[in-house]
Structure 1
Amino acid sequence: MTKRAFHRLRTRLVLLAVDDSGMSTVEYAIGTIAAAAFGAILYSVVTGDSIVSALTNLVGRALTTNL
C-alpha cells in the first residue's frame, strides 16, 4: 500500500468515525417518545380518582369560604 493510499484510507476512516449525520433524527425521536410517555403518565395521574377528588374538595372549599 502506498503512502498516499494509506493517507486516503485513514482520512476516510476518520471522517466515518466522526460523521454524525442522522443524530438529530434519533435525538428528536427519543425526545418525542419521552414527551409522549410523560404526557401519558401525567394524564393518568390527573384523571385518577385521588386527584379528581382532591381538586373537587379544593374547589368546594374555595367556594364555601367566608371572607
Structure 2
Amino acid sequence: MYQAVRARLRALVCGMRAARRDAGMVTSEYAMGIVAAVAFAVVLYKVVTSGPVSAELQNIVKEALNARM
C-alpha cells in the first residue's frame, strides 16, 4: 500500500511540474475560447434576427400571450 501511495504522490508532483511549464498557454486558450464564443453568438444573432425566424418567434410569442387557460 505504501508503494501505491508513493507512486500516486510522484504522479501528482510530476503533473504539477508539467502544469507549470504550460502556464503560458492558458491565456491563449482562454482567448481562443472567447473568440469562438463571440463568433457563435454573432451567428446565432444573425439567424434569430433573420426574416423567417424572427416572424416565427413573433408568432410563438403572440400565441403564448393570447392563450387562455
**TM-score with structure 1 setting the length:** 0.59
Give the alignment's Cα RMSD to 1 decimal.
1.8
Q: Percent identity between the aligned chains?
A: 44
- Name the structure with the higher helix share: 2
Shift of residue 42 of structure 1?
1.2
Determine the structure 2 residue equivalent to 1:61: 63
| Correspondences of 1:1-67 after superposition (within 5 Å) | 19-67=21-69
Which one has the largest radius of gyration? Answer: 1
Count residues in correspondence: 50
CA–CA separation in structure 1 for the residues paired with 2:47 and 2:27:
30
CA–CA separation in structure 1 for the residues paired with 2:22 and 2:64:
55
**TM-score with structure 2 setting the length:** 0.58
